[in-house]
Structure 1
Amino acid sequence: MHRIVVHGGNAHRDDFLAVSVLLATLEEAEVLRCDPSSEHLADHKTYVVDVGMEYDPARLNFDHHQDKSLPCAFHLVMQHLGHHQDAQAVFGWYPFMSMMDVRGPHRTAEHFGVDASVLLASSSPIDGYILSRFARLEVLCPEDLLYRFMREMGKDMLALIRLKKERLGRLKREARIVAVKQFKAVVCCIEDNPKLSMELYLKSLADESVVICITPSVRGAGWELLRLGDSRLVDFRAIADCPEVLFVHANGYIATTRSLIPLEQAVQLASRAVVEPAFESDK
C-alpha cells in the first residue's frame, strides 16, 4: 500500500486537492497528517505533499515552501501526474488557487486589482467545513467516508479535464454564431450539459460582440437564452409577454422558452431582447 504524508494542523485547498488526485490515481493509500520523517522522504512508495522542504518528484516529494519560484503542491502533483497543462487550460480557478496559496490573499488581490476583503468574502462555507473535517484527522484510511469522498472528487476532477477538452472540440465544430441586431449570439444544440466548456469556447472566439448564448435548457423542455457579461443593451424582460416564453428572471439576464421551438424563432426572441441604446435596463 502507498502512503501519503501531508502536514498536520490547518488544512488548505492545496494539500486537500493534492491528496484527492493522488487517491484517485493510486489503487490504495494511507494518508498521514504529520511531519515527515527522513524515512518518509526516502521511501519510494510514500508521497510527501506540501511539507518536508523538498521538491524531488523522483522520490515523490512535493513541497514548495523552500523555493518561492515553485507553484503550490497541488500543481506540483498535477505536473507529476501529467495533468497540469490541461488543468491550466480548462479550469479558470486553477492558476488562481496556486496564487492564493503561494502569494496569499493580499498579493493575489493586488494582482487582480481588487481589495483583499473581496477574496476573503467570497470564500465558501462548504470549503471551510470540508477542510475542517480533514484538519481534525491524523490518519485517513480507505474505509473512511472522507477518504472515499476525496478519491471520488479527484477522479471526477481528472475526468472533467478530459470531458472539457472533448467538449471544446465539439463546440468548435458544431456551435454557430448568428446575428442579433448589432450584436451576435452563440447557438449550440447540445442537450447533454450544454454549458460545459462554453466559457472556453467564448474565450477562444475573443469576440466582444457575442453577447447572448442560446442552448437547450437544463431546467425545462425549451431553450435557454442567456446574456453574456452584463450588457445593459440585452434585457430579456422585453420578451416576457411572448407566448413562447416560459420564464424571465426579474433582472432580465436569462429567459427560457416553453419548448424547443424552431431555432430561428429562438434567435428572433433573442434579437427582440436587444434593446435600443436610448433605453437602458436597471440591471
Structure 2
Amino acid sequence: MHKIVVHPGNAHRDDFLAVSILLAILDEAEVFRRDPGREDLADPGTYVVDVGMEYDPERRNFDHHQDKSLPCAFHLVMQDLGYHEDAQAVFGWYPFMSMMDVRGPHKTAEHLGVDASVLLASSSPIDGYILSRFSRLETLRSQDLLYQFMREMGRDMLALIKLKKERLERLRREAEIVPVKQLKAVVCAIEDNPKLSMELYLRSLEDARVMICITPSVRGEGWELLRLGDSNLVDFRAIADRPQIRFVHANGYIATTRTLLPLAEVLELAARSVADGEEHIPM
C-alpha cells in the first residue's frame, strides 16, 4: 500500500486536488496529514505532497515552497503523471489555481486586471466546506467517505480531460459557423452534453463576430440559443412572443424552442434577435 503525506493545518485546493489525483491513479493508499520525516522523503513508495521542502519526482517528493520558480504541488503531480499539458489546454481554471496558490490573490487579481476582492467574493462555500472537512483529519483511509469522494473526483477529472479533447476534435468536424445578419452563430447538433468543450472551440476560432451559440437544449426537446459575451446587439426577448419559443430568460441572454426546428427557421429566429449596428463588436 502506498502512503501519501500532506501538510497538516488548513487544507487548500492545491493539496486537496493533488491528493485526489493520486488516489485516482493508485490502487490503494493511506493519507497522512502531518509533517514528513526523513524516511518519508527517502521512500519512493511514499508521496510527499505540498510539504517537505523538496521537489524530487523520482522519490515522489512534490513540494514547491522552497523554489519560487515552481508551480503548485498539484501541477507538479500532474506533470509527473503526464496530464499537465492537456489540463492546461482544457481547464480554464487550471493555470490560475496555481497562480493563486503560489503568488496569492492580490498578484493573481493584478494579473487578471481585477480587484482582489472580486476573487475573494467568488470563493465557493462548497469549496470551503469540503476543504474544512479535509483539514480536520489526521489520516484518510479507503473506507472513509471523503477518501472515496476524492478518488472519484480525481478519476472524473482525468476522464474529463480525455472527453474534452475528443469533443473538441468532433466540434471541429461537425460545428458550423453561419451568418446571422452582421454577426455569426456557431451551430452544432450534438445532443449529448452539447456545451462540452464549446468554450475551447470558440477560443480556437478567434472570431469576435461569433456572438450566438445554437445547440440542442438540455431542458426540453428544442434548440437552445445562447448569447456569447454581453453584447447589446443580441437580445432574445425580441422573439419571446413567437409560437416556436418555449422560454426566454428575463435578461434576454438565452432562449429555447419547443422542438428541434429546421436550421433555417432557427436562424430566422436568431436574426430577429439581432439589432442593427456594429457597436460592441471587437475588431
Fold match (TM-score > 0.5): yes
Q: Quick one: distance in 2 between partners of 1:244 and 1:140?
A: 54
Residue 158 (structure 1) aligns with: 158
Give the CA deviation at 1:278: 9.9
1:192 partner letter: D
CA RMSD of aligned residues (A): 1.2
- CA deviations on 1:220-263 (whole Å, 9 max, x unpaired) are 11000000000100000000000000000000000000010111
Q: Quick one: distance in 1 between partners of 2:122 and 2:2?
A: 36
Q: Quick one: distance in 1 between partners of 2:264 and 2:150?
A: 45
Residue 20 (structure 1) aligns with: 20
Q: Summarize the alignment of residues 105-124 of structure 1 with structure 2, pairs less than 5 Å apart.
A: 105-124=105-124
Give the CA deviation at 1:279: 11
Residue 9 (structure 1) aligns with: 9
Q: Quick one: distance in 2 between partners of 1:187 and 1:267?
A: 9
Aligned length: 280
Q: Quick one: distance in 2 between partners of 1:53 and 1:81?
A: 20
Runs of 4+ that moved beyond 3 A: 277-280
Give the CA deviation at 1:144: 0.1
Residue 214 (structure 2) aligns with: 214
Q: Quick one: distance in 1 between partners of 2:235 and 2:114?
A: 28
Give the CA deviation at 1:113: 1.2
Residue 193 (structure 2) aligns with: 193
Which structure 2 segments of 5+ residues have no match? none
From the superposition, tell whether residues 148 and 207 of structure 1 become closer, same or farther in structure 2 (CA, over 3 Å): same
Give the CA deviation at 1:44: 1.3
1:190 partner letter: I
Q: Quick one: distance in 2 between partners of 1:267 and 1:160?
A: 31
Secondary structure of the residue aligned to 2:98 is helix
Q: Summarize the alignment of residues 13-162 of structure 1 with structure 2, pairs less than 5 Å apart.
A: 13-162=13-162
Residue 259 (structure 1) aligns with: 259
From the superposition, tell whether residues 38 and 175 of structure 1 become closer, same or farther in structure 2 (CA, over 3 Å): same
- CA deviations on 1:35-91 (whole Å, 9 max, x unpaired) are 000000011110000000000000000000000000000000000000000000000
What TM-score results when the alignment is normalised by the length of structure 2?
Answer: 0.98
Give the CA deviation at 1:276: 2.6
